[in-house]
Chains A and B, each alone.
Chain A
Amino acid sequence: MKQPIECDRRRFVQMVGSASLWGAVGSRFGWAASLRAPTRTAKFAYIGGEHGIHVYSIAADERFIKQQTIASAHPVTMAISDVNLYVANGVSEYGSLPRGSVEAYGIDAATGQLELKNRAPLSLSGISPRDLAVAPDGRSVVVAVHGGGAYNVLSVHEDGRLGRVSSILKETGSGPHALQASAHPSAVMFDQVGRVLTADQGSDKLSVLSLSSGELTVVGRCEVAAGSGPTSMVLDPNGKRLYVVHALNGSVSSFGYDATVGRILHREQTVWASVAGEMAALAIHPSGEMLYSSHGEGVQAWKIAGNGSLRALPGVEGVQANMLHVTADGKSLLALSGDAVLRMKIDAATHVLAAPVKVASLSKPVSIAIF
């Protein structure tokens, strides 16, 4: 099955994971986590890699110490909800049928170790999922199915186990880029009132969806620049501005967002990176004052002004990040690169990034969550 973009080279920021770092225990939402003071020091990191999920304890000096490796088929994205870890398997076949799957793991709060609760299939043709997010009530998981061109909702049982797919939203669409022959949902996240925001890399489309009784319905659509390939997105801490990274034209754009009605407003600004390609990653600082992006060649830092506009600051060259992740305490930016997890300290006053330090070595890391 041909996939336009190699999943192990996927580039996007997973909103839930990126904002639940360094102590945001139980926080399911980036915007919520960023508003809270950390309740405890983060103890464990979960990294999805080529051969499964790697569990690390986080030392006082912030080194990652491997505790467990658990087999998992292409864990392309993950999110923590209470003491459960949900992982999407970016595969094109499960149970001989053309579909991906999602796994639910229980987290041992003392040791950080994972125990598989169950693995649930996505809908027929739901191949190569790319992102997932857990609903505010913890009872649903929404999955962006990149290969299958759809969104799936899976129910979550009281005990954290995954139920069956309760809703399928099949997307159509395309764009002028060679990688946009069909719809490719790439990112999904919840806003402050529980609506679902999505980005479709294949059809240059952002969407606002409502989730009610396990059913997804379209609230509104927003077309972005043709051929840009919106790949990932983050909301600022007050939930009023949406930042989108576009892999295919190497840009980052910002939009106003009205959470009260669930509407993406006009595009406010577009800034350009030096590289366009198949990958892009995005992360926002909990303070809402900095945005970090990567298109696979270095990490770019963007100062967010009071009016939401972006201004480039010195970044870090040579880091080929396929995912970026700001810790919830705002002190570090983590980058997943080809064979390592890199940490870049963030200067508290200037937000300038320090040189990267390797905190873990593993093959092809693609997803991260912190407990």
Chain B
Amino acid sequence: MAILITRDDARFNNLKRARNGRWPADPADGISSVALCLSSEDTAEALQRVISAGQRPTIRSGGHCYEDFYANNPNGTLIDMSMMNHVGILPHDDDARYRVAAGATLGKAYQDLYKLYNVTLPGGTCSSVGAGGHITGGGYGFVSRLYGTTADWVTGVDILTVDSKGKVALRTCTAKQDADLFRACRGAGGGNFGVIIDYIFDKLPPAPQEVMVSNMIFPWAEMTEEKFTKIFDAFGNYFATRGKDPETWGLFAVIEANHKASGFMRVSAQFCNPDGTCKDTKVLDEFLALFDACKPSAVLPTPPVSNRPAEGFGPHMMTRVPWAETGAAGGTRHGSTRAKYKSTCMKKNFTTREIGVFYKHLTRMLPGVDLSHTVVEVDSYGGAMNRQEMLEETVAFQRSSIMKLQFQTYWADPAEDEGHTTWIREVYKELYSSPEVDAAHQGTPFPGGNYEGCYINWCDKDMIDYGYWPQLYYGPNYEFLQQVKRNYDPNNVFHHAMSIRA
């Protein structure tokens, strides 16, 4: 039986908290209990109890949801999966398939899969993210350009659904069993159809033996708009051209365009060759050289591995890191408690106008608002993630993107809520109020020639103000998802602000 934590339990106030301190927006929106589940049987029993009591369940694995999807559940029960975190091949599983439980963090999954089997999950850049929501939302990360998204590798999902009569049932959906639900679980995002117990993988890609990592630091004190433009253009142009060559797919790079108030910007890269080694670093050297003219003040190893002696390797400073150590290198980025996010999938390099908008807002100061933990991150994308054959197998439709942008702003004081949300909304709206977006979809990166919508794992409730928001996140697949919703959750037991609306 699941452990039920109610309001009178000393642990409740801690366990009810959302990672993003903004949620629940009003204490009255909060849950009344937490069900800590230790097994699939526990979870089924807890879920059935919630349904029979006329409550609403919400689900938490790692708790990283950017919006209030699990935290906003007035007097409801939070099904907490964090203790269901097994990773590996179960003794009773004759098929010797890898299982990653919904409650496993990516960090644990990387470590266990590496130590036990020398394989890895392709996706995720933050080790404390839970597998439950991450994988069903697509899930990409450091080696996804090389191997594809994590959802691409999933071959089965154990999931609890609730039938029309309110009865809980465990399903194992695969390409042959409940195939529509299986496809939907590969890209729709969490909290839509049921409680995911395990992800099943017939095979997983080999863990790289080693990777090269490198950081280029660009202090704002030395920044000009011309240099800023060169950095963005060089990065975007690379992934729009050279980055499409499979030889480069082992390169994952990020522009960390921190607000001027933070003091510096950074371009970081992680690299291995397609064979999982770093015997030849030509690709990484080539990439780093693009920024030589921008004169970074330092080229350093990333902070989590800075205790290792940096190696001179060719003309650029790099450091050699065992794969297992990089897998746990994420964690909470800023440690702040309140946050707002947005996302964009980009199909082309930045326009000069877009770069100008970034520069304007990253150098704009707002009175009384500390933007020192505000950043636009530009992730490299594409490579194996753009395999067109996966369009039919998953519902992740963004298979032509070369970069993914994640707008992030963090703060601690609720008094700054309006300032931060205003900043992020203004930069986003200005970016996509442009000739690159058709007249009917101004203000959004609507799928078209330049953009490919938004990423559901970086959910953004602002977007539901646009009636066409499902197309931003699901492209042509929304009607399919609505049918799956009707089939497997007819009573809409599982819902949140951006869940599939049947």
Query: Footprint of B on A, CB under 8 Å?
Result: 1-2, 96-98, 123-125, 148-149, 164-165, 167-174, 181-183, 216, 218
Contact = CB atoms under 8 A, between A and B. Distances in A.
A97 B464 contact: yes
A149 B55 CA distance: 12
B166 interface: yes
A2 B164 CA distance: 17
25 contacts: A1-B501, A1-B502, A2-B502, A98-B501, A124-B497, A125-B495, A149-B491, A168-B55, A168-B56, A168-B74, A170-B54, A170-B55, A170-B491, A170-B493, A171-B54, A172-B162, A172-B164, A173-B166, A173-B491, A174-B164, A174-B165, A174-B490, A181-B164, A183-B491, A218-B54
A124 B72 contact: yes
B465 A172 contact: no
A122 to B, nearest CB: 11
A164 B55 CA distance: 17
A124 B55 contact: no
B75 A167 contact: yes
Interface in B139-155: none
Interface in B150-184: 162, 164-166
Contact of A98 (B26, B486, B490, B495): B495
Secondary structure dominating the interface of A? loop
B164 A173 contact: yes
B492 interface: yes
Interface string B483-502: 00010001111011100011
Given A172-B491, A182-B164, 6 more contacts: A96-B464, A149-B492, A172-B162, A172-B166, A173-B164, A173-B166
A337 B214 CA distance: 74
A165 B26 CA distance: 12
Nearest to B54: A169
Contacts of A97: 464, 497
B65 to A, nearest CB: 15
Contacts of B492: 125, 148-149, 182
Contacts of B486: 181
A170 B55 CA distance: 6
B289 interface: no
Contacts of A149: 491-492
A182 B486 CA distance: 9
Contacts of B74: 123, 165, 168
Contact of A182 (B54, B56, B491, B495): B491
A181 B490 contact: yes
A164 B27 CA distance: 12
Contacts of B28: 164
B51 interface: yes
A164 B74 CA distance: 11
Nearest to A151: B54
Contacts of B72: 124
Interface in B422-472: 464-465
A165 B76 CA distance: 13
Given A165-B74, A170-B54, A124 B491 contact: no
A169 B50 CA distance: 11
Nearest to A163: B28
A101 to B, nearest CB: 16
A5 to B, nearest CB: 15
Among B26, B72, B76, B497, the most chain A Cβ lie within 10 Å of the Cβ of B497
A158 B378 CA distance: 53
Contacts of B75: 167-168
Given A97-B464, A164-B28, A165-B74, A172 B493 contact: yes
B364 to A, nearest CB: 27
A124 B54 contact: no
Interface in B240-257: none
